Structure 1
Amino acid sequence: MEVHILAKAFISLAFVGFLGLFLRLYNALVAEPRRLRSELKKQGISGPPPSFLLGNIGEIKKARTAKVKDVPTGCPPTTHDCATVLFPFFEKWRKLYGQVFMFSLGNIQILHVNQPDMVREITTCTSLDLGKPSYQQKERGALLGQGILTSNGTVWAHQRKIIAPELYMEKVKGMMNMITESANTMLDSWKSRIEAGGGIADIKIDQDMRSFSGDVISRACFGSNFSKGEEIFKKLRALQEAASKKVLSSGVPGLRHLPTKHNRDTWALEKEVRTLILQVVKQRTQAGYEKDLLQMVLEGAQNSNLSQDAIDRFIVDNCKNIYLAGYETTAVSVTWCLMLLAANPEWQERVRTEVLEVCGGRVPDDYMIRKMKQLNMVINESLRLYPPVAVVSREALTDMKFGDIHVPKGVNLWTLVVTLHTDPENWGPDSLTFNPDRFANGITGACKLPHLYMPFGVGPRVCLGQNLAMVELKLLIALVVSNFSFSLSPEYVHAPFLQLVIEPEHGVNLLVKKL
């Protein structure tokens, strides 16, 4: 009798548990996404109809895998329409639904916003209620509990106090010799290849740019332990490639938690990166003070009154952010810039003439670089056409309002940088062409709405590493144009490709001659 009663009780508990789990899943996968879409729809916002559980992932994947017409090799690009190449589905939806529309990645509801006034409000918002999307941020609850929610991989609300931009800039100024040394290593390698090639060399420059940038950031961040930094950055590169493959699947319910081979490999890489970074931190603590970026991060973390676990996350997140801002984005930005100079020899000559006039045969220093107006115009135009980051994403962590639109808690906000950077309404009818002259009077004179130019972000969340990235870009390009002339190789194929940052899918091949 007692066994029968216990069995019935067990069955009842199991049924209640199953019912509770079913209701939770139904709410997360069906009811909540439907409610969010309904709230947006009531405000006149529409978008492509989602399929069950997958949302609009199927349509996006189909558009991304559609066969692209063969691109001729060795030809300079005739247009620079990254938005259409990388996001054809957004271009289609924008024509159908306007500048503000909604779509779904699985059960993640996203509001696409490219309306200028709303973009300004979103990018200048300082509230912690607008944070990094939860599907990108692990352990968000722990950070929220301490009031330090991350928005771009770092504890941004405190990092402006912990890592002051002016202090960071002083660090960058002190790196000029180190950046020059790293650049000269690459230049010597090119000279050797040119000599071996009988006066000209066909060089695929992508890996050289990564080696240069990696050497700079490893030394800047990890000081005397820079070799360990190089190992960390290789792991972070692999982690970036892995993450880029699962961007679309991140909204498929439960998929990011399943022990698939891809997820296991990604988790293993994340663990390795964390372990390597904290090993360097331990060695630094034992060895003592060094004047580098890691020391600045460590001092900021120690002065923050955070728990040890939060300090470790802060350090790891900042090292990851330094990688993306100071290494990967710099490498890919200088690669695109050299491609554009190779494709536009008149601008290459203008920059070369300016560098020779300003430097007079001397090694460029901080003062000289700031005087190079033509170079600055070229870099600004290159970052406009090929911004390293294509999309700025945020999540409303509570109900919020931007413009006339009420954004319910849980909705993600996406701003498409590549579209804003080539909008003819803002940049003029030549918005898809390479024309550095538009920046002759600075960013404010280049377009109607300067706040829509955001290669490094804008407002309170602007990338802390932009000063280092710009110094690296200017110094390396100045040294390259003053030592070499170069043109596009017959092997070059123009194919922008999105892998978290916008990269040339087949690399950039240049024919390089020594001056």
Structure 2
Amino acid sequence: MEHACVSSLLVLWLSLLPPVLICILLLSYLWTFQWLRPERIRQRLRRQGEKGPKPSLLLRNIPEMRRIQKQLAESDQEQQEAAAGGNHRFSSNYMAAWPLCSLTSTTGTRSTSLFVRDPDMVRELANCKSLDLGKPRYLQKQLGALLGTGILTANGDLWAHQRKVIASHFFMDKVKGMVDLMAGSANEMLVSWEDIVDRGGFHILSKIRQLQVAMAKQDIFAALPGSRYLPTKRNREIRRRGASIRDLILDIARRHEEEHDPPATSSASNSDGFLRSIVEGAKAAASAFSSCTPEDFIVDNCKNIYFAGHETTSTTAAWCLMLLAAHPEWQSRARAEVMEVVRHGKPLDADTIRKLKTVTMVVQETLRLYPPAPFVTREALRDLTLGGLHVPSGTGVRVPIALAHRDPAAWGHAGGDPDGFDPGRFANGVNLAVVELKVVLALLLPRFELALSPGYVHRPAFRLTVEPGNGVALVLRKLCSAD
């Protein structure tokens, strides 16, 4: 609703101005904010030796990006054959949504961006604790319908408050308590792969997924400044779905408060405790941050948790099944381990999941080859220095994760192929395990043998996360019970 109100007020205000003055204001805005300020940042970076493609005033690098994407779309057959042969070099396919992915470069997007692949600079970026480096401010506008000002886009004190409210619910002792819930959900999925699981909150998850797909669509106005305010079909769909999701989340929050008044005790379930923390955090945020209403705090952070948790995990699960189907030797090793650790129908628990070493290695290698998030994205909120490079305030800093994960210097040890699937890379252990995925694999592998369907098309697509563009078509063969 906020976007609709802003758009209406803007149209009303412009209608009261003479056409000549409107043109002058528009040209002044385009020159100052869309060209002059970004160009000053680019000049400061060029003087330090960092170069990038030259943008145009209105379309920036959009034509170049689309040209590269068109060329890559024509090479789908080559990607399919490479994946069938065990080579998963796909990253340039979705990285082409940005003009250049060199060591460090500048681009002509709304805010000049610096692409970082140098390992030392990436390490310094990851270890930076300064609030001078934060989330890009434009994301709150660009992805406002999906993420709002939740923990994935907020900065400063608001982000610190959200982290305090949310983080404790994802400490390992809390995650261990969720294993039973994960196993129950996975079992329901495996009983029938076709039936929709009728669980609380499913409609919200479905609608947020639809919103994500709508926001990933491109239209001819995407390059225009302020295009999100235009009454295009895409924008109308985004606003309609966003308003529907907001109503559903607030209705659940209201009913939750009514059902748990007085406050829930320590024996409350993890999900109840989490939602109560969000509601209580919203009340505290309302008195401390004038820009954040209680309703916005609840809605935005619930959507953020979905996107950061459910969507990324489900996408990684799809890639994991594809890789196991394409590499039956690792599928057999993981299945043998599960059947050895989980004997005679023993229920899964946190201790059992911890013992699944091969499954952990498979999950880690999946995340290396197909990371759900394509970039780590930050913005210099003030002038700062990274790796000896002076980064001006307003510069976007992006680390292309998939390219960093395929750096031969880091992943090509002993002549290994950094684009190949080799879970053995993690034999010595790296703390990247995802409990949800391990639960799913531990329950699935003893029941089914996986193979890629002849109709499977290997087409990674960037839709805010990196997901199988055409889904993952599998052939399942039910295995005899091990009991």
Under TM normalisation by the shorter chain, which class is it? Answer: 0.7 to 0.9
Match of 2:336 among 353, 356, 373: 353
Change (3 A) 1:12 1:507: closer
Match of 1:324 among 287, 307, 311: 307
* Alignment partner of 1:134 is 2:167: no
1:263 is aligned to 235
Q: Residue 511 of structure 1: SS of its match in structure 2? A: strand
1:57 is aligned to 62
For residues 36-59 of structure 1, give each alpha carbon's deviation from its aligned partner in whole angstroms, at most 9, with x where no partner exists: 211111111111111222111111
* Alignment partner of 1:375 is 2:362: no
Report if the CA contact (8 A) 1:398-1:410 is conserved: yes
- Aligned-residue offset at 1:167: 5.9
Match of 2:468 among 486, 497, 504: 504
Q: Residue 288 of structure 2: SS of its match in structure 1? A: coil
Cα distance in 2 between the residues matched to 1:363 and 1:253:
55
- For residues 276-315 of structure 1, the aligned pairs below 5 Å read 276-288=248-260, 289=264, 291=269, 292=271, 293-304=274-285, 305-306=287-288, 309-315=292-298
TM-score under structure 2 length normalisation: 0.82
Cα distance in 1 between the residues matched to 2:21 and 2:315:
54
1:68 is aligned to 75
Change (3 A) 1:243 1:89: closer
* Alignment partner of 1:337 is 2:329: no
- For residues 142-157 of structure 1, the aligned pairs below 5 Å read 152-153=152-153, 155-157=158-160
Q: Residue 54 of structure 2: SS of its match in structure 1? A: coil
Q: How many residues were matched structurally? A: 440
Q: Residue 449 of structure 2: SS of its match in structure 1? A: strand
Q: Residue 431 of structure 1: SS of its match in structure 2? A: coil
User: Could you tell me which amino acid in structure 1 is paired with residue 306 of structure 2?
Assistant: Y
User: Could you tell me which amino acid in structure 2 is paired with residue 432 of structure 1?
Assistant: D
Cα distance in 1 between the residues matched to 2:36 and 2:369:
41
Match of 1:80 among 88, 93, 104: 88
User: Could you tell me which amino acid in structure 2 is paired with residue 102 of structure 1?
Assistant: T
Could you say which structure has the greater relative contact order, defined with CA pairs below 8 angstroms and 6 or more residues apart? Answer: 1
- Aligned-residue offset at 1:178: 2.0
Cα distance in 2 between the residues matched to 1:81 and 1:75:
8
User: Could you tell me which amino acid in structure 1 is paired with residue 428 of structure 2?
Assistant: N
1:100 is aligned to 104
Match of 2:174 among 171, 178, 190: 171
User: Could you tell me which amino acid in structure 2 is paired with residue 479 of structure 1?
Assistant: L
User: Could you tell me which amino acid in structure 1 is paired with residue 84 of structure 2?
Assistant: P
Cα distance in 2 between the residues matched to 1:230 and 1:317:
17
For residues 483-505 of structure 1, give each alpha carbon's deviation from its aligned partner in whole angstroms, at most 9, with x where no partner exists: 11121121212221111111111
User: Could you tell me which amino acid in structure 1 is paired with residue 159 of structure 2?
Assistant: W
Cα distance in 1 between the residues matched to 2:471 and 2:398:
28
- Aligned-residue offset at 1:480: 0.6
* Alignment partner of 1:471 is 2:428: no
* Alignment partner of 1:252 is 2:256: no
The 10-residue stretch of structure 1 (246-255 or 273-282) with the greater mean CA deviation from structure 2: 246-255
Report if the CA contact (8 A) 1:391-1:415 is conserved: yes
- For residues 351-500 of structure 1, the aligned pairs below 5 Å read 351-361=334-344, 362-428=346-412, 429-443=416-430, 470-500=434-464
Cα distance in 2 between the residues matched to 1:84 and 1:14:
44
Cα distance in 2 between the residues matched to 1:294 and 1:400:
37
Change (3 A) 1:246 1:314: farther
Cα distance in 1 between the residues matched to 2:340 and 2:442:
12
Cα distance in 1 between the residues matched to 2:32 and 2:436:
49
Cα distance in 1 between the residues matched to 2:449 and 2:17:
79
- Aligned-residue offset at 1:259: 2.1
Report if the CA contact (8 A) 1:484-1:512 is conserved: yes
User: Could you tell me which amino acid in structure 2 is paired with residue 493 of structure 1?
Assistant: V
- Aligned-residue offset at 1:418: 0.6
Match of 2:206 among 205, 209, 234: 234
Cα distance in 2 between the residues matched to 1:423 and 1:359:
36
- Aligned-residue offset at 1:89: 7.4
Deviation beyond 4 Å, 4+ runs, structure 1: 11-22, 71-75, 148-151, 246-251
Q: Percent identity?
A: 41
User: Could you tell me which amino acid in structure 2 is paired with residue 390 of structure 1?
Assistant: P
Report if the CA contact (8 A) 1:391-1:414 is conserved: yes
Change (3 A) 1:285 1:47: same
Cα distance in 2 between the residues matched to 1:333 and 1:509:
15
For residues 206-241 of structure 1, give each alpha carbon's deviation from its aligned partner in whole angstroms, at most 9, with x where no partner exists: x88xx67xx7xxxxxxxxxx53x2111111111111
Cα distance in 2 between the residues matched to 1:29 and 1:161:
36
2:164 is aligned to 161
- Aligned-residue offset at 1:472: 1.4
User: Could you tell me which amino acid in structure 1 is paired with residue 163 of structure 2?
Assistant: R
Change (3 A) 1:116 1:247: farther
- Aligned-residue offset at 1:271: 2.0
Q: Residue 58 of structure 1: SS of its match in structure 2? A: helix
Report if the CA contact (8 A) 2:151-2:301 is conserved: no
**Structure 2 regions of 5+ residues with no counterpart?**
1-15
TM-score under structure 1 length normalisation: 0.78
Report if the CA contact (8 A) 2:180-2:348 is conserved: no
- Aligned-residue offset at 1:250: 5.6
Q: Residue 414 of structure 1: SS of its match in structure 2? A: strand
Change (3 A) 1:124 1:267: farther
Cα distance in 2 between the residues matched to 1:12 and 1:426:
59
